[in-house]
Homo-oligomer: A and B are copies of this chain.
Amino acid sequence: MRQVDRIIANRMQSPVATIPALADHLINAGGKRLRPLLTVASARLAGARDDACLKLAAAVEFIHTATLLHDDVVDSSQLRRGKVAAHLIWGAPSSVLVGDYLFARSFELMVEAGSLAALDILAKASGVIAEGEVLQLTRAHDLNLGQDVYLEIIRAKTAELFAAAAESGAVSAGASDQQRRAMRSYGLNLGLAFQLADDALDYGGATETLGKNAGDDFREGKATLPLLLAIARTGAEEAAFWDRTIGQKDQSEADFRRARDLIVSSGALDATLDLAADFAEQAKTALHAMAAGQWRDALADLADFAVSRRA
């Protein structure tokens, strides 16, 4: 991963000083590098001997970084990875354009990695991610969003890149169709588990460990699963509370605490964490198609880690 970090640091350079400054602000803010780790581990697990997968991994992180930059503009987010969001420092236009730059650089890296099949997987994933963002944009404040639509959104927004990161790594190493499908399934389920755990943390964690403000989703009126389940479970008696705080975004700090209490007492938080644990198990099951060894063990551990984060 140190080698991947070197490629990332090298490829985000530009004579236009705003670009490395803005990119560095986000990239070196302590992201977990989960997605590129997935690409490298999947490639090694599928038998990769050379280092083409390192460039592919850097490309995956660039796609992720570009989507974060655009996401924060779209959502007017204040914090990212515990730091002030880039668009609040350099302005939204710079964040949009540096995102575009990193996206372009990611495809250059994929060309160098040399696998047209891996490139196809990541190009398609990028389209699905943007599609999911637009879908979320039109539905984000819908308090009656069904669990199915919510899972569809996070599948597109988050899990698709996990799936593509794993699948493209395996494909670049010449994986069989069966291995390719297994790694895609692993990544997809891991991504769903990871996002649901993240959604739960927003109602259970503390700002320092989250890298974002606990309660941010609530304050932005984001319809994540813990909230959607709590709204459905608390029924008519709390309808006015949810409508005021989420529907009309008329909130005090005490409202967040009450929402958190309702989410815990209604069982919505545990239900979300249980669902996350189910996806993590499915991810581990998918790994059975792969050869046993240190890389498979590492990916199984990663699935456990995704749902064990507590703040």
Q: Which residues of A are interface residues toward B (Cβ below 8 A)? A: 14-16, 18-19, 66-67, 70, 73-75, 92-94, 96-101, 103-105, 107-108, 110-111, 114, 116, 119-120, 123-124, 126-127, 129-131, 133-135, 137-138
Contact = CB atoms under 8 A, between A and B. Distances in A.
10 contacts: A14-B131, A16-B134, A16-B135, A18-B137, A19-B134, A75-B93, A97-B134, A99-B100, A103-B103, A116-B116
B104 A130 contact: yes
A248 B111 CA distance: 45
Contact of A130 (B97, B127, B133): B97
B126 A107 contact: yes
B127 A101 contact: yes
A104 B135 CA distance: 16
A127 B108 contact: yes
A127 B111 contact: no
Interface residues of A: mostly helix, strand, loop or mixed?
A: helix
A127 B107 CA distance: 9
As for how many copies of this chain the complex holds, the number is 2
A19 to B, nearest CB: 6
Q: For A75, A96, A116, A120, which residue has the most chain B Cβ atoms within 10 angstroms?
A: A96
Contacts of A92: 73, 92
A93 B107 contact: no
A134 B104 contact: no
Given A66-B100, A67-B100, A111-B123, 11 more contacts: A14-B131, A16-B131, A16-B135, A96-B96, A97-B133, A98-B134, A101-B131, A104-B124, A104-B130, A107-B123, A108-B120
Contact of A134 (B18, B75, B105, B129): B18
Contacts of A119: 107, 111, 119
Q: Which of A67, A116, A134 has the most CB of B within 10 A?
A: A134
Contacts of A111: 116, 119-120, 123
A130 B74 contact: no
7 nearest A-B residue pairs (beta carbon): A104-B126, A104-B127, A107-B123, A101-B130, A74-B93, A100-B130, A111-B120
A14 B127 CA distance: 10
A70 B96 CA distance: 7
